[in-house]
Structure 1
Amino acid sequence: MGIKKIISNTNLPNTIESLKKDLFHLGVEPEMVLLVHTSLSKIGWINGGAVTLILALQEVLTKEGTLIMPSHSADLSDPKDWTQPAVPEDWWEIIKETMPPFDQTHTPTYEIGVVPEVFRNFRSVVRSYHPTCSFSAWGKKAEKIIEKHSLDHGFGDKSPLNKIFSLNGHILLIGVTHESNTSLHLAEEKCRHYPQEKKGSPIYNEKGEREWKNYKQACYSTEFFNTIGNEFEKKHIFKRGKIGNADSKLINQRELVHFAHQWYDEKINNS
């Protein structure tokens, strides 16, 4: 959405104080462990853009809370698996051999919006070490959430997602659907009979040298995320409201993952 259209769709400028008011009204509270997915343009014009939104979230949560966002870099992967867009087959080996390894500081996020990229560069934000599935976190439990992120099953039991699950954290969707709800990948990983696959990415090994490393994970797919999310909303209590102009939802992550886990189990057993 262009800036002119965003301005024309906004009654008054969004500020730190107005966004804090919206967050409080939706149910975001101090000391929460909160995983945020957002579309900045859906909120409307913000004085200060992504920086203002992040500051508002931090001020509401306080330093006793914890703010988490995805910092995924899906482009650090085998080019033979790329589809959006695909690249010529005679490029594959060149790309694979010369792709820079994942670096927590220098590797940018990839196609997940401006807010996560700004957030990962904020003061006191830490990032987990995973070439494609990393998360960034700020606040009291940030280090606990990002530490020891397993290369295998990057959205699984040894991932930041499962740390949020164990801490009974919440998910905040701002202007996005459940298709962006990464926690549903944790439900895929928790299904014993869910299809598995092998992937590979460049990382730094223990000697500080570049190495192409293969790893295992569930066959991640967002195909059913909106179906699962919509069915969950019909059967469970969650909070719905507006952040600026953006339709927003505050959801208990553990309840959603339990529901999705059961949904996937039933689908697999009936297939």
Structure 2
Amino acid sequence: MTEANIVHTTAAPRTRESLAADLRMLGIVPGETLLVHSSLKALGWVNGAETAVIQALYDVITPEGTLVMPAMSPDLTDPAHWRAPPIPQAWHEAVRQSMPTFDLRRTPSRGMGRIAELFRTWPGVLRSDHPTSSLVAWGAQAGRILRDHPLEDPFGEASPLARLYDLEARVLLLGVTFESCTILHLAERRAWPRQALIQEGAPLIVAGERRWVRYGTPILRVDLLADAGRHLVETGIARGGTVGSAAVHLLPVRETVDSTVARWQQMGLTGE
């Protein structure tokens, strides 16, 4: 959608103030911990674009709260597994050897949207140290949430997602679908602790030197996320609303994870 189309379909300009008012109406409160997945274009035409959205979120949760977003970099993976698009097999080793090393400050996110990518660079924002599945956070609980992100199980019991569960955080899907709801991967890990593994790799600094590090990581069931979302809406766990022009859902992490685990186990699904 072009900017002209967005202007044409927006009844009035969205602003830092109007977005903050919508977020408060939705039920977001000062001091809470909030994981946000977002689409800028879904909000309509925003004066100040992604800057205004981040400012509005800050205004609502205040410095006593904690704002969290994804900063994932799936291009720092083994090219042998790339499918969108694949590259020639003859390129694989050259790509592994020349791929830029993961850097907490410089490695950009990919596919997370303009709001999350700007937030990654915002003053005072911290980042977890996983090469493909990092989160970024600002606020009172940022350090606690992001510390010691395990390489081989980025969404499991020692991950930032588990700490969000412990903190009784909430998730805001700001104009995106449940396929973007990362917290559901924690439900996967709890439903199927012995999920099948894929052998991955990433360029990391080890003992001061660049190395291609291979590791096993669970294969995620992304095909189940849409069904989980429908269940969460039907049960009332995910509460719908509108922010700007965007359809949104607000959901508590604990109820979301617990209910989704129970649903998948009752359905007799496996993690394979």
- Structure 2 length as normaliser, TM-score? 0.96
Cα deviation digits, residues 114-161 of structure 1 (max 9, x gap): 111100000110000000000000000011111111111111112111
Distance 1:193 1:236, change over 3 A: farther
Distance 1:270 1:105, change over 3 A: closer
Secondary structure of the corresponding residue to residue 100 of structure 1: coil
Distance 1:188 1:200 in 2: 22
- The residue that corresponds to 1:227 in the other structure is 227
- The residue that corresponds to 2:199 in the other structure is 198
Cα deviation digits, residues 196-246 of structure 1 (max 9, x gap): 3221111111x2211111223221131110111101221233321111000
* Aligned-partner residue type, residue 12 of structure 1: A
Cα deviation digits, residues 5-25 of structure 1 (max 9, x gap): 010011111111100000000
Identity %: 38
How far is 1:100 from its partner? 1.2
Distance 1:63 1:270, change over 3 A: closer
- The residue that corresponds to 2:138 in the other structure is 138
Question: How big is the alpha-carbon RMSD for the aligned residues of Structure 1 and Structure 2?
Answer: 1.5
- The residue that corresponds to 2:269 in the other structure is 268
Deviates more, 1:8-17 or 1:232-241: 232-241
Cα deviation digits, residues 78-111 of structure 1 (max 9, x gap): 0010000111111101001111111010100012
Distance 1:106 1:139, change over 3 A: same
* Aligned-partner residue type, residue 66 of structure 1: T
Contact 1:194 1:268 in 2 (8 A): no
Secondary structure of the corresponding residue to residue 223 of structure 1: helix
Secondary structure of the corresponding residue to residue 224 of structure 1: helix
How far is 1:58 from its partner? 0.7
- Structure 1 length as normaliser, TM-score? 0.96
Cα deviation digits, residues 16-73 of structure 1 (max 9, x gap): 1100000000011111110000111010000110010001001100000000000000
Contact 2:127 2:134 in 1 (8 A): yes
Secondary structure of the corresponding residue to residue 268 of structure 1: coil
Secondary structure of the corresponding residue to residue 31 of structure 1: coil
How far is 1:262 from its partner? 2.2
Distance 1:165 1:77 in 2: 27
Secondary structure of the corresponding residue to residue 131 of structure 2: coil
Distance 1:159 1:270 in 2: 19
Distance 1:269 1:42, change over 3 A: closer
Structure 1 residue ranges without an equivalent (≥5): none
How far is 1:269 from its partner? 6.0
- The residue that corresponds to 1:2 in the other structure is 2
- The residue that corresponds to 1:49 in the other structure is 49
Distance 1:249 1:135, change over 3 A: same
Structure 2 residue ranges without an equivalent (≥5): none
Aligned residues: 270
Contact 1:80 1:92 in 2 (8 A): yes
Distance 1:176 1:35, change over 3 A: same
Contact 2:188 2:271 in 1 (8 A): no
* Aligned-partner residue type, residue 230 of structure 1: R
- The residue that corresponds to 1:156 in the other structure is 156
* Aligned-partner residue type, residue 91 of structure 2: W
* Aligned-partner residue type, residue 242 of structure 1: T
- The residue that corresponds to 2:79 in the other structure is 79
Distance 2:14 2:163 in 1: 32
